Amino acid sequence: MFKKKECVAMLLAGGQGSRLYALTQKVAKPAVPFGGKYRIIDFPLSNCTNSGIDTVGVLTQYQPMLLNEYIGNGLPWDLDRTYGGVKILPPYQGTHSADWYKGTANAIYQNMQFIDRYDAEYVLILSGDHIYKMDYAKMLKFHKANNADCTIAVLDVPIEEASRFGILSVDDEQKIFKFSEKPKNPDSTKASMGIYIFTKSKLAEYLNADAADPESSNDFGKNIIPNMLKAGERMYAYEFEGYWKDVGTISSLWEANMDLLGENPIFSLADEKWRIYTRHQVLPPQYVGCDGKIENSIISEGCEIYGTVKNSVLFPGVKVMPGAVVRDSVVMSGTVIGEGTELSYALIDTDVTIGAKCRVGGEVGNSEDITVLGEGTVIADGEKIDAGVMIPELRKDKK
């Protein structure tokens, strides 16, 4: 039943994604839709399968129903395997304790037996909140070549943004000598992408020590990495070049969707050599009506476009009725935009119904002006929803 696996991936998918507010009311962040037909978790899962990593533990905690249902037996990602495959790992009741996952490190600590079952030598730690395409096999090769205890994937970021990330300082051989979490005055531009490879024996050692420390916040960035560095373990930075985006906020999620547009988009999903897999809905092709107008947009199966769509990303089964105009927006599955309605600069969740002759959203500009309508919202005919409004309003700092 259990064959040895050189490397097992552990995907941290329990995060609430509280800064996505209305969009993560009913689903965990990794299950948030992205890019016309995907969900965020499709990216790490597809990267795993494309990198030849066929054993993935998905650690869930917050609102797991949809995520569990979505991942199912892992078939869409070719992860329905006799040996390995994708497995959901929820918090559980043990002999000595029963606990929620107290932090990223604690979640892995509680599931060491999953890793042990496959006798893995290396453990790849991933998170479910980034959009990127990456070959983990190359990173693993780098890890092995350096005989490292821990390898952290890093991205060069502009110096002015560096204080938002965990910043690493490295020597000529990419060996890490300093790590600072969100430094005020960063002395490097190498930002941690939250993707780690650990040699399993070392990981177990530090996770055990971390679990025994009542003062610890059981977090990789705050505890495990600094502790390993302090002890002088072999830690390396693996440089990643390419598109990588944290979609943890309303504005970054909107931007990442917009990054798919244009003649030569910053991020393309049409790469046949590195396909992104997803669980499909059974829907017919899209239909564009006689008066339909579509420019610079991405549109998915089952959509019916009778109005105008510009600079937007439409998910499966969206209906844009005659005379409606959708601009600079992301519209998720099953939403209906009524006749003559104008929608702009907005993120619209699944199964929203916007009536006829409504005016929703403002003009592109300040990211606070993005209008957000949560799952199942119904807007009556003729209503006006101002720029920056969120329904339901979940931002505590907003009046």
Partner 1 sequence: MTAAGLIFSNIHDISIPEMTAERTMASIPFGGRYRLVDFTLSNMVNSGIDKVGIITHNNYRSLMDHIGNGKDWDLARRSGGIRILPPYVSSSDSPIGGKLYTNRLEAMLGAIDFINHCDEEVVVLSDCDDICNIDLNAVLDYHEAKGADVTFVTKKMNLEGGKAGQYAIINADAEGNVTEIVDSSPMTKGEFNVCTNIVVINTGFLVSTLHTSVSYGYKDFYTQALAAAMASSKFVAYDFDGYYAEIGSLPKYFAANMEILRADVRNELFNTKDRPVYTKVRNTAPTKYAEGAVVKNSVIADGCVIEGTVINSVLFRGVRVRKGTVVKNSVMMQDSCTGENVQLNCVITDKNVTIRDDVNLSGHETQPFYVAKGKMI
Kindly state whether residue 297 participates in binding partner 1, applying the rule CB under 8 A: yes
> Can residue 295 be called a binding residue for partner 1 (CB under 8 A)?
yes
From the list 66, 88, 204, 283, which residue makes contact with partner 1 (rule: CB under 8 A)?
A: 283
Among 53, 89, 139, 294, binds partner 1 (CB under 8 A): 294
For 302-333, the DSSP string reads: T-EESSEEES-EE-TT-EE-TT-EEES-EE-T
| Cα diameter, the chain | 68
For the bound state, the minimum distance from the C-beta of residue 130 to partner 1, rounded and expressed in Å, comes to 18
Sheet with 325-327: list strands edge to edge. Answer: 293-295, 308-310, 325-327, 342-344, 359-360, 384-385
Strand 122-127 relative to strand 235-239: parallel, antiparallel, unpaired? unpaired
Q: Given candidates 15, 17, 30, 35, which one binds partner 1 under the rule CB under 8 A?
A: 35
Q: Does 82 bind partner 1 (CB under 8 A)?
A: no
Binding status of residue 289 toward partner 1 by CB under 8 A: yes
Q: How far is the CB of 62 from partner 1 (least distance, A)?
A: 28
Tell me if 192 sits within 8 A of 167, measured CB to CB.
Answer: yes
Stretch that binds partner 1, among 246-254, 276-284, 320-328, 348-356 (CB under 8 A): 276-284
Look at residues 286, 301, 257, 345 and name the one whose alpha carbon lies nearest to residue 32: 257
Minimum CB separation from partner 1 for residue 357, in Å?
22
Note if the bond before 392 is cis, omega within 30 degrees: yes
Residue 127 corresponds to which tokens in the numbers above? 């998170």
Total residues contacting partner 1 by CB under 8 A comes to 38
Position of tokens 């600069």? 345
Q: Which of 23, 48, 157, 299 binds partner 1 (CB under 8 A)?
A: 299
Least distance from C-beta 303 to partner 1, angstroms?
A: 9
- Interaction of residue 394 with partner 1, rule CB under 8 A: no
User: Which range binds partner 1 by CB under 8 A, 107-115, 180-188, 299-307, 375-383?
Assistant: 299-307
CA distances from 132 to 28, 196, 287 (A): 19, 15, 30
Gap between the Cα atoms of 199 and 151, Å rounded: 9
Query: 333 and 318 in contact (C-beta within 8 Å)?
Result: yes
Taking the complex as a whole, the smallest distance from the CB of residue 119 to partner 1 amounts, in Å, to 30
In the complex, minimum distance from the CB of residue 256 to partner 1, in angstroms, rounded to a whole number: 15
Residue 41 or 294: the one with the smaller Cβ distance to partner 1 is 294
Mark the segment that binds partner 1 (CB under 8 A) among 15-23, 142-150, 159-167, 285-293: 285-293
Q: How far is the CB of 34 from partner 1 (least distance, A)?
A: 11
Which residue in the set 33, 36, 84, 307 belongs to the binding site for partner 1 (CB under 8 A)?
36
Contacts 24+ apart (CB under 8 A), 88-96: 88/58, 88/60, 88/64, 89/57, 89/58, 89/59, 89/60, 89/114, 90/59, 90/60, 90/61, 90/64, 91/61
Least CB distance from residue 284 to partner 1, whole Å? 4
Q: How many CA atoms lie within 13 A of 24 on its CB side?
A: 27
At 293 the three-state DSSP class reads strand
Residue 266 binding partner 1, by CB under 8 A: no
Give the integer Cα–Cα distance in Å for 306 and 312.
15
Q: Which region, judged by CB under 8 A, interacts with partner 1, from 204-212, 287-295, 331-339, 378-386?
A: 287-295
Minimal distance in Å, beta carbon 86 to partner 1? 16
By the rule CB under 8 A, 76 interacts with partner 1? yes
Binding site for partner 1 (CB under 8 A): 35-37, 75-76, 261, 263, 268-270, 275-278, 280, 282-301, 309, 313-314
